[in-house]
Structures are given as C-alpha cells and as structure tokens.
Amino acid sequence: MVLNKTFNKIWNITTTVIVAIVVVVAIVLMGLRLIGFQAYTVLSGSMEPNYSAGDLIYVKSINPNKIKVGDAITFVMNEELTVATHRVIKIDSQNQHFYTKGDANDTPDANPVHFNNLIGKPKFAISGLGYVSNWIQNPPGTYIAITVGLLLILAVFLPDFLKNKEPEEQSAANTQEIAQEKAELEKIRAEIVAAKAELEEAKNKTE
C-alpha cells in the first residue's frame, strides 16, 4: 500500500511536469496567435546574426506607413506566397514600395515589396523552435504529436482509474471468497447430515 502511494505520488508529479511543459510549448507555438502574433519559421541564414535558420519569429501586424528605414519586416515575397523577413533599406512612399536586403546578404533583394504584401514587423524570436513547429505541422510529426498528447491524457488519469479499479477487484475477490466459504459450509453440513443419518440407521439396527 505504501509503495502504491509512493508510486502514485511520483507518477502524478512526473505527468504534471510533462503536461505543463507541453502546455507551455503549445502556448508558445499557437497561443500567441490569439493576441495578434503570427509565427513563422526562419528557413535561411539571410538575416544572421539577428535571426538564424530554425528560429521561430513572432510577427505583429503594423501599418505600412509606420515602417522606417532600418526596420526588419516580414512580407510575402512572390506569387508562390513565399514569406521572407528582411531589413528595409529604402522606402518609396509614392509608389508604396519597400526596398529590402538580408543582413547577411551582399546585395539588396531584386524586387521591391509592395505595401500590400507587408505581413508585419517581427517582435521577438525563439531560437530553434521553428524546427519543432515545422515538425508538428507536417506528417509524420503531426500524427506523433497527437499520439503523444493522447498518451499524456491517459497517463494523467491512469492512477485514478487504477484506484477506482482496486475496490472493484477487492470486492470481486471478497465475493468469490465468501462463495467458497459458503460452499465449504454446505459441504460440511451435508456430511454432518449424512453422518447423523448413518448413526440413526445403526441405532435402529441395534434395537
């Protein structure tokens, strides 16, 4: 019983910590979108050392007119809807164009960015989390993440399930034990009745 209590305590602490970590990661990956942030994975080193490949950057929508030269912006680069984050080196307000360049690139980007293609301005980044985000959002990572989530849910409720199961098993064992004792008592009773009958028969013969 003491071992069971110790095991349950350790199990509860472990599963609570794991669930807490999963919740924090989920909030970091998805929850910030609820307050207006969009998360994007940095796929190249064009903005190093500020943003490295694998970083997850959080972008906040902003009015194009508030962008200044020197700001890093996230934008749709082409018709394939490729998203990039580069730094503004020049602004053509009349034609509504940003001219951009990657911090690690030697030359500016070939095409200007129209104001309409602006997604927002990066606010912060988490190193390496982009790989996790991409892995979860694409098979087989999606399926593995769902499976792990379900296993965690089962793990959290497993001690309570076993705790509820123990009285049932104990009750079943007690019922079986009572039935066995009752059967033995009936057998003894039958033997006593039979012995009594034999004594009565022997007595009648003697008389």
Determine the pLDDT at residue 164. 57
Peptide bond preceding 108 in cis form (omega within 30 of 0): no
Q: Which residue, among 114, 45, 115, has the nearest Cα to 85 in the 3D structure?
A: 45
In angstroms, the Cα distances linking 110 to 64, 100, 115, 142 are 20, 9, 16, 36
Q: Which residue, among 62, 59, 72, 64, has the nearest Cα to 115 in the 3D structure?
A: 64
Determine the pLDDT at residue 95. 95
Ordered per-residue pLDDT tens for the chain, 207 residues: 544 667 667 767 777 777 677 676 666 666 577 778 888 999 899 999 999 999 999 999 999 999 999 999 999 998 888 999 999 999 999 999 999 999 999 999 999 999 999 999 999 998 887 777 676 766 786 777 677 777 777 766 666 666 655 554 455 555 666 667 777 767 767 766 666 665 565 545 545
Peptide bond preceding 167 in cis form (omega within 30 of 0): no
Q: Do the strands 37-41 and 113-114 form a parallel or antiparallel pair, or are they unpaired?
A: unpaired
In angstroms, the Cα distances linking 64 to 67, 72, 90 are 5, 12, 13
Determine the pLDDT at residue 192. 67
Q: Kind and range of the H or E element at 33?
A: none
Count of CB atoms situated within 10 Å of the CB of 149: 13
Peptide bond preceding 49 in cis form (omega within 30 of 0): yes
Determine the pLDDT at residue 162. 60
Determine the pLDDT at residue 2. 47
Determine the pLDDT at residue 195. 60
Determine the pLDDT at residue 165. 53
Domain coordinates in residue numbering, the chain: 36-134
- Type of residue numbered 44: S
CATH topology for 36-134 is Umud Fragment, subunit A (2.10.109)
Distance CA 144, CA 137 (A): 11
Determine the pLDDT at residue 201. 58
Determine the pLDDT at residue 198. 59
Q: Which residue, among 51, 49, 40, has the nearest Cα to 77 in the 3D structure?
A: 40
- For 32, the token pair is 């910030």
Determine the pLDDT at residue 59. 95
Residue 160 φ then ψ, to 5°: -65, -40
Q: Which residue, among 84, 82, 88, has the nearest Cα to 70 in the 3D structure?
A: 88
Determine the pLDDT at residue 139. 78
Count of CB atoms situated within 10 Å of the CB of 120: 21
